[in-house]
Amino acid sequence: MVVGRFAPSPSGRIHLGNIFCCLLAWLSARQKGGRVVLRIEDLDTARCPRRYARQMIEDLRWLGLSWDEGPDVGGPDGPYFQSERTALYQAALERLEAMGLVYPCFCTRAELHAASAPHREDGQVIYPGTCRGLSPAQAAARARETGRTPALRIRVPDRETGFTDGHMGRYEENLARDCGDFLLRRSDGMFAYQLAVVVDDAAMGVTEVVRGADLLDSTPRQLLLYELLGWKAPSFYHLPLLLSSDGRRLSKRNADAGLEVLRGRVTADEVLGKLAWLAGFHSSAAPCTAEQLVGEFNWEKVPREDIRLPEGLF
């Protein structure tokens, strides 16, 4: 049984980019006769109040997307809010600590950006291993000096880690060179996305992950965690991002692409029909329900390059 999921982060009203991802995840699973899980990724509870999650669930229902497990319908693998699953993340962290792979890091983001640490093309710092070799005594001394609770990082191997994406093809990284030891838990105690998403997808039996291409380079990190924790990794499909007509990435700041505006001027079927047309598998921008699109969906027709929204389409 294929188990797909959509896992939005409710830091505001969903926009067309979120809907595009949820639609393709839903179609990919449903076309295979699979189940769908809705998980709310609200690790940062200050940015993701429950009222946004409730609105997001209502918006997805309005669009005609359904799920077999989720916060409003229950299921065997709950709770379905990440903020309620921290005990699971802690257990996984302790397993990795027992392998001797986790160490405390006292570096702040500002310090790393100010230092001569290498950066990726997307601006992310490649962690240079500053705290990797600290002895327990040195770590204790740093804690006293800084007065800070350290973050926790995982030691990554110096080898290629890769996979064949179901849509984008082969992707590989040498984590030591291209990423560096990455965070498992932040200094404020919040678990990192990389650990939480692996724990949750494994615990919920997810076999297929459909998400935006901006997360493609996260996958080798997650595959390492699957390997170390002895869990079977799902299949991955990364889809192109929707961009505004002037080429900017859509965000919750793009009010004209958010449902608070769109629901006042278009129907749910119009939204889905236009998005399916942009994705290349619907022959026109004519209105269509999610169920009607199941038979048309075809990954081969979905572009691999980011998609600009035509002016006035919505």
Q: Which two tokens stand for residue 1?
A: 């049984």
**Exposure pattern of 53-86 as b/e (b: 16+ CB <10 Å)?**
bebbbebbeebbbebebbbeeebebbebbbbebb
One of 32, 252, 274, 301 is an active-site residue; which one? Answer: 252
- Does residue 274 contact residue 313 with C-beta atoms inside 8 Å? yes
**54 contacts: CB under 8 Å, gap ≥ 6:** none
Place of tokens 């459909």: 210
Question: Which helix (H) or strand (E) covers residue 24, if one does?
Answer: helix 16-31
Structure tokens at 74: 């229950």
φ, ψ (nearest 5 deg) of residue 162: -150, 180
C-alpha distances (whole Å) from 207 to each of 37, 87, 203, 223 are 11, 23, 11, 13
Q: What is the 3-state secondary structure (H, E, C) of 38-75?
A: ECECCCCCCCCCHHHHHHHHHHHHHCCCCCCEECCCEC
Look up 301 and say whether it is catalytic.
Answer: no
For β-strands 3-6 and 35-38, DSSP reports them as parallel
Torsions phi, psi for 206 (to 5 deg): -70, 130
Active site (catalytic) residues: 252
